[in-house]
């Protein structure tokens, strides 16, 4: 039992060692984007409206905490439509799906809701437009990512070709170099993509494409914000999941700025205290699919180890909002 301040003991109690100071610089903006908020709300509203279970094809957004929270409310996550039974609603994730998926849902007479981010759908429409114009479409993106699978699945096989880096851009063979267009994944590194596009433009001077790229506002803003905190930081924590493309890019952006201790952390329990040993200034950000509650959890854990001061630099203001599918809106219920 600890001695009370009024208890006379032979030995004076040794004082707690003072906590080492740590300055946390919180990136702004960070965390949830409008597409992720919309996707999560679609699942929540569907659960309210139709009752559990509601099926979701693929993780609605790439974050275990979000997925588990929705599972607790009655969502069931599956990878393929074939795992969805009849007579239950199914939701497609924010990353988008190949055209074959809604087509199969229609064939099976399944009721589906599409939570594809409108900014991903915009890229799908660009791909279709280029195809209609007779162009070969080059998609700049990462092989195997669900968004890339979904975007490639908007066109017939062989109509689109994937380029992942400058080397592939330098070597890609296109039958008619005057009939080619490019589109991009929405969550790429802005800096890497500029170089890939430059390589494509060198090789195909008449290539069509968006003015800059299709990288979304949220990805761009979060990369700018992590640059601001990584400059001068001894380490950077990116709160996010290993399968989250935009979170991985934030780690890379921080590392490219010379911050070798840039790390992806999913939960406070994953913090590597040894790595933080010599850190005096720590940047913290979160990928577009990571909820703020996880940032708060990590700060709370740091508070137990350090005497923390928090800096909140200014950043880009975001006021993007995407409408829900009409069938889930309150107005639809009222009518």
Catalytic residues: 147
Among 24, 26, 27, 36, binds ligand SF4 (CB under 6 A): 36
Residue-wise over 158-168: b if at least 16 C-beta within 10 A, else e? eebbbbbeeeb
Least Cβ distance, residue 145 to ligand SF4 (angstroms): 11
Residue with Cβ nearer ligand SF4 (33 or 282): 33
Residue nearest to ligand SF4 (CB): 35
In the chain, what's the furthest Cα-to-Cα distance? 92
The total number of residues written for the chain in this structure? 335
From residue 212, alpha-carbon distances to 8, 68, 150, 223 in Å are 74, 37, 22, 16
Q: Choose one: 45-53, 115-123, 266-274, 292-300; the region binding ligand SF4 (CB under 6 A).
A: 115-123
Q: Examine residue 216 and tell whether it contacts ligand SF4 (CB under 6 A).
A: yes
The sign of the torsion formed by the CA atoms of 40, 46, 51, 57 equals: negative
Residue with Cβ nearer ligand SF4 (189 or 246): 246
Asked whether 285 and 253 are in contact (CB, 8 A), the reply is: no
Closest to 120 (Cα-Cα) out of 144, 101, 146, 157? 146
* Dist CA 269 CA 78 (whole Å): 27
Residue with Cβ nearer ligand SF4 (120 or 294): 120
Output the six-digit token pair for 53: 């279970």
Output the six-digit token pair for 46: 């569907």
Residue with Cβ nearer ligand SF4 (97 or 218): 218
Number of residues in contact with ligand SF4 under rule CB under 6 A:
15
What residues from 134 to 193 belong to the interface with ligand SF4 (CB under 6 A)? Answer: 186-187
Among 162, 180, 282, 288, binds ligand SF4 (CB under 6 A): 288
DSSP assignment of 32-61 equals --HHHHHHHHHHHHHHHHH-S-EEEES-SS
Interaction pattern, residues 50-89, with ligand SF4; x per rule: CB under 6 A = ----------------------------------------
Residue with Cβ nearer ligand SF4 (28 or 187): 187
Asked whether 136 and 108 are in contact (CB, 8 A), the reply is: no
Among 218, 236, 254, 262, binds ligand SF4 (CB under 6 A): 218
Q: Choose one: 50-58, 114-122, 247-255, 278-286; the region binding ligand SF4 (CB under 6 A).
A: 114-122
Among 26, 43, 67, 117, binds ligand SF4 (CB under 6 A): 117
Residue with Cβ nearer ligand SF4 (97 or 216): 216
Asked whether 221 and 318 are in contact (CB, 8 A), the reply is: yes
Give residues in contact with ligand SF4 (CB under 6 A): 33-36, 94, 117, 119-120, 186-187, 216, 218-219, 246, 288
């Amino acid at each position: 039992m600890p001695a009370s301040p009024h208890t006379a003991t032979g030995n004076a109690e040794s004082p707690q060692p003072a906590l080492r100071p740590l300055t946390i610089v919180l990136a702004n903006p960070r965390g949830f984007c409008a597409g992720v908020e919309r996707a999560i709300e679609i699942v929540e509203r569907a659960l309210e409206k139709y009752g559990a279970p509601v099926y979701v094809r693929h993780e609605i957004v790439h974050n275990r905490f979000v997925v588990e929270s929705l599972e607790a409310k009655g969502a069931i996550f599956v990878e393929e439509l074939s795992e969805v039974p009849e007579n239950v609603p199914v939701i497609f994730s924010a990353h988008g799906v190949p055209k074959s998926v809604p087509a199969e849902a229609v064939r099976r007479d399944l009721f589906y809701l599409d939570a594809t981010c409108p900014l991903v759908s915009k890229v799908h429409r660009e791909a279709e437009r280029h195809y209609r114009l007779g162009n070969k479409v080059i998609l700049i993106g990462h092989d195997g990512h669900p968004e890339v699978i979904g975007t490639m699945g908007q066109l017939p096989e062989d109509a689109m070709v994937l380029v992942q880096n400058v080397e592939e851009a330098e070597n890609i063979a296109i039958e008619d170099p005057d009939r080619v267009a490019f589109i991009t994944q929405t969550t790429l590194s802005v800096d890497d993509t500029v170089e890939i596009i430059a390589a494509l433009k060198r090789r195909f001077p008449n290539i069509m494409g968006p003015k800059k790229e299709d990288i979304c506002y949220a990805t761009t803003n979060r990369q700018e914000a992590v640059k601001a905190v990584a400059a001068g930081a001894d380490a950077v924590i990116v709160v996010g999941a290993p399968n989250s493309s935009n979170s991985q890019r934030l780690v890379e952006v921080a590392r490219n700025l010379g911050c070798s201790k840039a790390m992806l952390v999913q939960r406070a329990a994953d913090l590597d205290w040894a790595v933080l040993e010599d850190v005096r200034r720590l940047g913290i950000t979160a990928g577009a699919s990571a909820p703020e509650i996880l940032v708060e959890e990590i700060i709370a854990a740091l508070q137990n180890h350090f005497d923390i001061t928090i800096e909140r630099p200014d950043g880009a203001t975001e006021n993007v909002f995407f409408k829900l599918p009409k069938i889930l809106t309150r107005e639809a219920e009222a009518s």
